[in-house]
C-alpha cells in the first residue's frame, strides 16, 4: 500500500493517462459550457438507443465525461487510490482491459434496464404525449425542467438525458481490490473507522442494489454501478481459472 503515497509522476502509465484524459475532457466540457458554444456531455454522453441523439461511439466516450467537479473528483480519487495498486499487480495491458470491460459492462447493464423501463412506459403513454416528447422533450431537459406527468417525465429522461461518468469502471475496480486484497484495512471518512476491503465492497454493493431497486428514476445510475461490479467479478473468476500467474 506504500505505492498510494507516490507522486503523480510515479503513477503507473494507464492510471496516469486515464486521470489526465478524464480531467482534460472535463475542462473542455466546462469551458465549452461556459462559452455557450457546445454541450459536450450532450454529444459524448450515452443515450438510450431509441433516442434520436444516440450514437454508437457514446458507448465508449461516456466513460470519460462527468457531470460536475465532485462527480469527477470522487471517481478520479478512487482511480488513483485503487487503480495504481491493481495496475501494478496485473500490468498495464490487463488493467486497461479490465477497466474498459467493466465500464462497457456497466453501460450494457444500464441500457438493458432502461430498455425494460422504456417498454413498460410505452404501454402507459398515449401517442400524443409521446410525440410531444419527441418534438420538444430535449428542449425541456435543457431548460432544467421536465414534464409534470410522471410517465412523460420518465420517458423524457430515458430519451433525452445522457449517462456520463467512469463510475461503472470505478466500481469494477473497487470489486477487484476487495477480491485481491480482502483483508486490507481501509479507513472510512464518515464515520472515521477502519474496515476490511471485502466488507467495504460488500457493503457498497448492497447499498447500490438497494438504491437501484428503491430509486429506479434516480439521476445516479446505480444499476450501472452494479453492472461494473458484476462484470468485474466474472472477469476475475475467469482469469483465476485460466491464468496461473495472475496474482
Rounded to an integer, the average pLDDT of 135-145 is 92
- Rounded CA-CA distance 229/25 in Å is 25
Per-residue pLDDT, 211: 66
β-strand partners of 187: 194
- Rounded CA-CA distance 166/72 in Å is 8
pTM listed for this prediction: 0.88
Per-residue pLDDT, 163: 93
Show me where the domains of the chain are located.
Answer: 2-242
pLDDT in tens, 165-210: 999 999 999 999 999 998 888 776 666 778 888 887 787 777 766 6
Per-residue pLDDT, 217: 54
The dihedral through the CA atoms of 184, 20, 62, 57 has a sign that is negative
Percent of the chain with pLDDT over 90: 63
Per-residue pLDDT, 190: 63
Rounded to an integer, the average pLDDT of 151-166 is 94
Single out the residue of 106, 210, 235 nearest to residue 168, CA to CA. Answer: 106
Least confident among 6-15, 82-91, 110-119: 6-15
Rounded to an integer, the average pLDDT of 205-226 is 68
- Rounded CA-CA distance 220/200 in Å is 20
Which run of H or of E encompasses 186?
A: strand 185-187
Q: Is the pLDDT of residue 3 over 50?
A: no
Per-chain mean pLDDT for the chain: 87
- Rounded CA-CA distance 93/14 in Å is 8
Single out the residue of 232, 113, 216 nearest to residue 167, CA to CA. Answer: 232
Q: Is the pLDDT of residue 34 over 70?
A: yes
Range 2-242 classified under CATH 1.10.10.10: no
β-strand partners of 195: 186
Single out the residue of 82, 23, 52 nearest to residue 228, CA to CA. Answer: 82
Percent of the chain with pLDDT over 70: 87
Contacts of 133-139 spanning 24+ positions with Cβ under 8 A: 133/159, 133/160, 134/52, 134/159, 138/53
Per-residue pLDDT, 222: 75
Tell me the pLDDT band of 241, cut-offs 50, 70 and 90.
Answer: confident
Amino acid at each position: 500500500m506504500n505505492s498510494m503515497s507516490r507522486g503523480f509522476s510515479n503513477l503507473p502509465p494507464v492510471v496516469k493517462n486515464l486521470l489526465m484524459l478524464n480531467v482534460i475532457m472535463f475542462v473542455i466540457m466546462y469551458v465549452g459550457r461556459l462559452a455557450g458554444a457546445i454541450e459536450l456531455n450532450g454529444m459524448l454522453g450515452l443515450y438510450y438507443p431509441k433516442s434520436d441523439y444516440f450514437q454508437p461511439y457514446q458507448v465508449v466516450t461516456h466513460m470519460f465525461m462527468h457531470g460536475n467537479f465532485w462527480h469527477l473528483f470522487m471517481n478520479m480519487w478512487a482511480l488513483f487510490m485503487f487503480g495504481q495498486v491493481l495496475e501494478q499487480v496485473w500490468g498495464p495491458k490487463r488493467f486497461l482491459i479490465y477497466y474498459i470491460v467493466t465500464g462497457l459492462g456497466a453501460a450494457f447493464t444500464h441500457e438493458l434496464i432502461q430498455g425494460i423501463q422504456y417498454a413498460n412506459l410505452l404501454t402507459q403513454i398515449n401517442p400524443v404525449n409521446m410525440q410531444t416528447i419527441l418534438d420538444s422533450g430535449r428542449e425541456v431537459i435543457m431548460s432544467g425542467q421536465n414534464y409534470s406527468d410522471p410517465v412523460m417525465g420518465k420517458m423524457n429522461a430515458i430519451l433525452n438525458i445522457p449517462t456520463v461518468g467512469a463510475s461503472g469502471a470505478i466500481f469494477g475496480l473497487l470489486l477487484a481490490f476487495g477480491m485481491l486484497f480482502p483483508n486490507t484495512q481501509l479507513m472510512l471518512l464518515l464515520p472515521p473507522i477502519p474496515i476490511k476491503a471485502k466488507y467495504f465492497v460488500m457493503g457498497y454493493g448492497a447499498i447500490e442494489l438497494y438504491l437501484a431497486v428503491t430509486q429506479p428514476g434516480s439521476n445516479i445510475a446505480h444499476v450501472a454501478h452494479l453492472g461494473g461490479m458484476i462484470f468485474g467479478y466474472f472477469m476475475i473468476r475467469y482469469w483465476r481459472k485460466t491464468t496461473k500467474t495472475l496474482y
